């Protein structure tokens, strides 16, 4: 069942790639220059790295039945801190450590609101989503701060055969997958997400687990914020990481993790993030007019979500059954509120 769920996003990804190849036949071609790979697909990977990283953090948050809307703002804050520090003559490593340290604090704040005070995650993180950008603006005094630091620009724009950014994102994704699936963490996260009260009574540290995933999500957002600002060698408090929370949530959902919490799939999130980024790129390459890009994106996302939904699957099966009477698996429906 899990395998079938990842099939649709994979199909969507393949479809988008085919579309791109038709429009730009050179789409798949790769060049090697100075030992680095270049090409449209590599661009997709590089530009998609921040979304993917944030989506990894978001996956764990969503698995606990939560959501984190503040990741975009946190990313902006991280970029603002690092860049102002470097612009003031600071060292890049200190800048990054400081930025990530602040992100951990922000994550602790979110986690505190959700796990200790029991505020609904969507509301709790909305606070930081709106206030966070204001904080970033204060840090940069409303200016776009440009910097020139060769070490710092490596994170977002550097290459080690592949872009450094995507290597970081993939490493984090792989690390989290190993950590949660080799230990019992993944199972405990899912159990808290499916039934918090039953988990509490079974002795699961639900509070600590929930708190931790928000801190981790903020940390991911921080690193993503560093990538974004390093890529352009500037901190733009207004637009850095804008709407990235939406892309990350979409990536998670397309990847087959339910917003209702519980079972999560990091492999699905990986594919979901690639779909989102390829979609964004496709919109430019096939020349969709900018005023309808968001609509176009929405259509594709709805299509993937519809195809995944068990209800639609049942409907399609039903149609087929009517056409050619054959044995079919009944569809267990959820008993709704009568």
Partner 1 sequence: MVDMRGISVEFPGVKALSEVDFRLFPGEVHALMGENGAGKSTLIKALTGVYRTSAGTIRLNGRPVAFTGPGQAQQAGVSTVYQEVNLCSNLTVAENILLGREPRRFGAIDGRATRAAAAKLLDRIGLDIDPASQLGSHPIAVQQLVAIARALAVQARVLVLDEPTSSLDSDEVAELFRILRVLREEGVAILFVSHFIDQVYEIADRMTVLRNGRLVGEHLTRELDRLDLVSAMLGRELSTLEEVQRRTSHHAPGTEPVLQARGLGRAGAIAPFDLDIHAGEVVGLAGLLGSGRTELARLLFGADRPDTGTLTIGGKPARARGPRSMISHGVAFCSEDRKGEGVIADLSVRDNLVLAMQAARGWARPVPRRLAEDLVAEYIEKLDIRPADPGAVIGNLSGGNQQKVLLARWLVTRPRLLILDEPTRGIDVGAKAQIQKVVADLAAEGMAVVFISAELEEVVRVSDRVVVLRDRRKVAELAGHDVSVSDVMSAIAAQSGPVAAVAS
Interacting residues with partner 1 (CB under 8 A): 1, 182-185, 187-188, 190-191, 194-195, 197-205, 209, 262-263, 327-333, 335-338
**Min CB(74)–partner 1 separation in Å:** 25
Residue 319 or 338: which CB sits closer to partner 1? Answer: 338
Which of 36, 57, 43, 42 has its CA nearest to residue 224?
Answer: 57
Residue 79 or 261: which CB sits closer to partner 1? Answer: 261
The CA angle 246-250-254, to the nearest 5 degrees, is: 180
Say if residues 328 and 321 touch (Cβ distance below 8 Å): yes
How far is residue 71's CA from residue 74's CA, in Å, rounded to a whole number? 5
Residue 50 or 262: which CB sits closer to partner 1? Answer: 262
Q: How far apart are the first and last CA of the chain?
A: 28
**Min CB(322)–partner 1 separation in Å:** 13
DSSP string computed for 208-231 = HHHHHHHHHHHHHHHHHHHHHHHH
DSSP string computed for 59-71 = HHHHHTT---TTH
How far is residue 191's CA from residue 199's CA, in Å, rounded to a whole number? 6
**Min CB(171)–partner 1 separation in Å:** 21
Residue 72 or 262: which CB sits closer to partner 1? Answer: 262
Residue 295 or 335: which CB sits closer to partner 1? Answer: 335
**Min CB(203)–partner 1 separation in Å:** 4
Give 296: exposed, middle or buried? Use CB within 10 Å, 0-12, 13-18, 19+: middle
Residue 36 or 207: which CB sits closer to partner 1? Answer: 207
Residue 97 or 331: which CB sits closer to partner 1? Answer: 331
How far is residue 98's CA from residue 78's CA, in Å, rounded to a whole number? 9
Q: Is the torsion defined by CA of 268, 290, 294, 4 positive or negative?
A: negative
**Min CB(187)–partner 1 separation in Å:** 5
Pairing of strands 159-160, 145-146: unpaired
**Min CB(298)–partner 1 separation in Å:** 29
**Min CB(321)–partner 1 separation in Å:** 10
């Amino acid at each position: 069942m899990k395998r079938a769920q990842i099939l649709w996003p994979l199909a969507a990804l393949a479809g988008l790639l085919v579309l791109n190849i038709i429009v730009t036949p050179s789409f798949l071609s790769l060049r090697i220059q100075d030992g680095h790979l270049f090409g449209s697909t590599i661009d997709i990977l590089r530009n998609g790295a921040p979304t993917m990283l944030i989506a990894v953090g978001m996956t764990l948050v969503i698995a606990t039945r939560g959501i984190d809307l503040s990741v975009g703002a946190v990313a902006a804050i991280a970029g603002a801190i690092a860049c102002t520090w470097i612009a003031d003559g600071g060292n890049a490593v200190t800048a990054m450590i400081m930025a990530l340290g602040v992100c951990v604090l922000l994550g602790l704040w979110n986690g505190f609101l959700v796990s200790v005070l029991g505020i609904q995650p969507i509301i709790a993180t909305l606070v930081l989503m709106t206030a966070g950008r204001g904080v970033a603006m204060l840090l940069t005094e409303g200016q776009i701060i440009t910097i020139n630091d060769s070490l710092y620009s490596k994170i977002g724009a550097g290459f080690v055969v592949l872009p450094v950014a995507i290597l970081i994102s993939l490493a984090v994704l792989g690390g989290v997958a190993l950590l949660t699936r080799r230990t019992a963490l993944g199972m405990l996260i899912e159990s808290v997400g499916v039934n918090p009260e039953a988990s509490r009574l079974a002795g699961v540290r639900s509070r600590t687990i929930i708190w931790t995933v928000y801190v981790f999500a903020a940390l991911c957002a921080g690193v993503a914020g560093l990538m974004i600002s390093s890529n352009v060698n500037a901190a733009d408090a207004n637009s850095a990481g804008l709407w990235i929370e939406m892309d990350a949530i979409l990536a998670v959902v397309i990847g087959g993790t339910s917003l209702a919490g519980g079972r999560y799939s990091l492999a699905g999130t990986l594919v979901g993030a690639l779909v989102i980024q390829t979609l964004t790129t496709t919109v430019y390459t096939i020349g969709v007019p900018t005023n309808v890009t968001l609509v176009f994106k929405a259509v594709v996302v709805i299509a993937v979500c519809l195809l995944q939904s068990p209800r639609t699957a049942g409907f399609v099966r039903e149609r087929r059954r009517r056409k050619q009477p054959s044995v079919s698996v009944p569809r267990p429906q959820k008993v709704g509120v009568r």
